[in-house]
Amino acid sequence: MLAPFLVGLASLVLVPAVLTLGLSLTDDDLIQPAQWVGLANFRELVDDDIFAIALRNTVVFALIASPLRLLVALGLALLLHRRARGVGLARTTVMLPTAVPEIAYGLMWLWLFNPVYGPVNQLLTLGGTGGLTVLGRTPPAWLTDPNAARAAIIVMSLFTVGEAFFVLLTARLALPQEVYQLAAVEDATGWDEFRRITIPLLAPVLLLLLLRDTILSLQLNFVPALVITDGGPPPYATTYLSLFVYRNGFEYLRYGYAAAATVVMLALTVLVVLVQWRLLRRMRRTYAL
């Protein structure tokens, strides 16, 4: 019964990973015969300032976007798990952005974040005068300011939490109601139920979703960074590892160098997942006590 899964794992994950590792040790450009260069590509990455920027941007995005996406999905699941009028429509609305093609989704946000006529800045300036917000400040220049551009990529990712929302909604509906009824008899507050019952029971699901989302966070920023900000504004404010690999591989035809960056991205993913795993295991032990 495990054979189909093992075949898929080997052909779609293990074999490509081994081939990528082998490619990272060459100077392959698909034009001339590849030459063995050993660790030269990795040594070049150490001295590459653009790679250092992409690596920092990727780490910051993963550390901020992944927990925020999980919190948004959890909040929506807890808000919409009860049966009430309009809940079905609300659940569909939450799922809808995840079903939109990435290119169309990126182009939509390109219009929303336009600093001149975009709805986001128009909403922020409501009640203000002279194009300023109600606090007397200039609205963010989403596409030209480095910090605002990074924040825009994170904001975009917070609306595509449909899969995590669906999983958490299903898990919340599956929790035994007797435990909550007993908590009500004991006069437990809503915060007590959330802290002592909901979170511990959902901890395994939250762990899996956080690990999964951390891995996906290395890919979620590719289309927005390419379509909306083109890796900028200068100097490479929204150039992430995924965009760095794409440009070196498909624009500069440096496939060996791009493969080396991919290996680093894989190692980074494994490191972040291991750290999160240890932290969440400690959290589960704390709740168990």
Average pLDDT estimate for 16-25: 90
Using the predicted structure, report yes or no on whether residue 54 has a pLDDT greater than 80: yes
pLDDT exceeds cutoff 80 at 193: yes
Please give the Cα distance from 171 to 169 (Å, whole number). Answer: 5
Confidence of residue 28 (pLDDT cuts 50, 70, 90): confident
Question: Is residue 20 assigned to a domain?
Answer: no
- The CATH number linked to 163 is 1.10.3720.10
Is residue 244 domain-resident? yes
Q: Is 230 left (phi over 0), alpha (psi -120 to 50) or beta?
A: left
pLDDT reading at 261 higher than 90: yes
Residue 130 phi, psi (nearest 5): 65, 30
User: Does pLDDT of 184 surpass 60?
Assistant: yes
pLDDT in tens, 61-118: 988 999 999 999 999 999 998 888 888 899 999 999 988 888 899 899 999 998 888 8
Give me the domain span that covers residue 76.
45-288
pLDDT greater than 80 at residue 202 = yes
pLDDT-based confidence at residue 286 (cuts at 50, 70, 90): low
The reported pTM is 0.86
Concatenating the DSSP letter of every residue in 79-140 gives HSSS--TTHHHHHHHHHHHHHS-HHHHHHHHHHHT-TTT-HHHHHHTTT-STT--TTS-PPP
Number of domains in the chain: 1
Query: 200, 176 in Cβ contact below 8 A?
Result: no
The contacts found for 262-271 with CB under 8 angstroms, 24 or more apart, are 262/20, 262/24, 263/20, 263/21, 263/24, 263/42, 264/42, 264/45, 264/55, 265/58, 265/218, 265/241, 266/17, 268/55, 268/58, 268/59, 268/218, 268/241, 269/214, 269/215, 269/218
Examine residue 31 and state whether it is found in any structural domain, yes or no: no
pLDDT at position 282 over 80:
no
Does residue 37 form part of some domain?
A: no
Torsion angle of C-alpha atoms 233, 131, 157, 53, degrees rounded to 10:
20
* In the predicted structure, residue 270 carries a pLDDT above the cut 50: yes
Query: Is residue 16 assigned to a domain?
Result: no
Of the given ranges (44-58, 130-144, 199-213), which has the lowest mean pLDDT? 130-144
Evaluate if residue 9 carries a pLDDT over 60: yes
CA-based nearest residue to 229, from 126, 109, 131: 109
- On whether residue 21 sits in a domain, the answer given is no
* 28 located within any domain: no
Residue 218 lies in a domain: yes
